[in-house]
Homo-oligomer: A and B are copies of this chain.
Amino acid sequence: MTPAKNAPGGAKGAPSAARRSEASRRAILTAAVELAGEVGYAKLGIEAIAARAGVGKQTIYRWWPSKGAVLLDAVLMLSGAEAGAGGGVADGAAEEGATGLPDTGDLEADLKAVLRATAAELADPAFDGVLRALTTEVINDPALADAYAERLQAPLHAMKRGRLVAAREAGQLAEDVDLDVAVDLIWGPLTNRWLQRGGPLTAEYADRVVETALRGLRPA
């Protein structure tokens, strides 16, 4: 994945210093992921992340302006690691070279596979904690929301939209459907259910959302 702008990728000094910086950076992001899963948002502090990563607090503040910025890079790191695994909310969040969504030629089957994977991922405590903490910061920090939109949401949206464009070209979507709204319609309900703990994140629910979005609510 592309290093964050304020990451030590361009640090001066010997290659070994750059390697040490990159190792520290990954240790910090990994610590943030682990702690978010273990203690939750309310108790997640820079101090605890630094202690877990074995670095000083100042190292974190040198590279990131806020806890939210650390969490965004942590989720981007997870996304990059997951990019080859197929499906999932985090998939393709790597800013460059992301694999697209599966395209077997069967839109409904592909969307179900993707939403099932997303549901499983959101139900996984390892993802749930850090995504919940990041979302909390995004909700309350407009500047972080901009960075989140640009670095995570926009690439994800483009990837989802790309799959719908291919489906439209294959005659599986109506010519005049608004593809941006279609993305919101397909992916919105699962996100809400997860965030508000509105119900279980099952494969059945994922399937039902895809089926309902594709066919619409009106009588045939």
Q: Which B-chain residue is minimally distant from A220 (CB atoms)?
A: B174
On chain B, the residues within 8 Å of A139 by CB distance are 41, 132, 135-136, 139, 195-196
Copies of this protein, total: 2
Of residues 175 through 198 on chain A, the ones whose CB sits less than 8 Å from some CB of chain B are: 175, 177-178, 181-182, 184-185, 188-189, 191-193, 195-198
On chain B, the residues within 8 Å of A42 by CB distance are 140
Main secondary structure, interface of A, reads helix
Selected interface stretch from A49-57, A85-93, A208-216:
A208-216
Q: How far is the CA of A118 from the CA of B41 in the complex (A)?
A: 29
Does A4 interact with chain B (Cβ within 8 Å)? no
Does A48 interact with chain B (Cβ within 8 Å)? no
Selected interface stretch from A8-16, A23-31, A70-78, A142-150:
A142-150
On chain B, the residues within 8 Å of A209 by CB distance are 181, 184-185
On chain B, the residues within 8 Å of A113 by CB distance are none
Does A65 interact with chain B (Cβ within 8 Å)? no
CB atoms of B132 and A217 under 8 A apart: no
CB atoms of A184 and B193 under 8 A apart: yes
On chain B, the residues within 8 Å of A83 by CB distance are none
- Contact flags A105-149 to B (C-beta < 8 A → 1, else 0): 000000000000000000000000000100110111010010011
**A219-B181 contact in complex given A42-B140, A188-B189, C-beta closer than 8 Å:** no
On chain B, the residues within 8 Å of A149 by CB distance are 196-198
Interchain residue pairs with CB less than 8 A apart (17): A132-B140, A136-B140, A139-B195, A145-B197, A149-B198, A174-B215, A177-B212, A177-B217, A178-B208, A182-B217, A184-B188, A185-B188, A188-B188, A213-B213, A213-B217, A215-B218, A216-B217
